[in-house]
């Protein structure tokens, strides 16, 4: 996992460039650059309850309003270790993240 020094200015710029609406969260576009992806994934993961276990359908229902290609967002949440999941994809959970 890559680590980034993310400043408040970085966050503000990413939100300005990629976010259509904060409440409810809706993205205009999903960035190609890694640092911006991490910033947006940090926003998106806040939509999930850390104490819950989710099935794929529940994950999709949360992500669909955020971005048209919700499947890629789900994949990035797992790949960047914001979400954990069983190998069979039947259960997801929010990973405990101490550092980025």
- pTM of this prediction? 0.90
Above 50 in pLDDT, residue 100? no
Domain ranges within the chain, ordered by starting residue: 8-94
Q: For 70-95, what is the mean pLDDT?
A: 96
pLDDT in tens, 35-66: 999 999 999 999 999 999 999 999 999 999 99
- pLDDT at site 2: 61
Options 2.60.120, 1.10.357, 3.30.70, 1.10.10; CATH of 8-94: 1.10.10
Above 90 in pLDDT, residue 3? no
Q: How far is CA 88 from CA 7, 29, 61, 84, 92, in A?
A: 36, 29, 19, 12, 10
């Amino acid at each position: 996992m890559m680590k980034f020094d993310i400043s408040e200015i970085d966050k503000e710029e990413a939100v300005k460039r990629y976010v259509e609406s904060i409440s409810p969260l809706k993205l205009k576009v999903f960035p190609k650059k890694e640092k911006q992806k991490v910033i947006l994934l940090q926003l998106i993961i806040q939509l999930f309850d850390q104490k819950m276990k989710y099935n794929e359908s529940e994950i999709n229902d949360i992500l669909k309003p955020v971005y048209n290609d919700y499947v890629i967002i789900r994949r990035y949440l797992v790949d960047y270790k914001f979400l954990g999941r069983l190998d069979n994809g039947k259960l997801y959970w929010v990973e405990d993240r101490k550092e980025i």
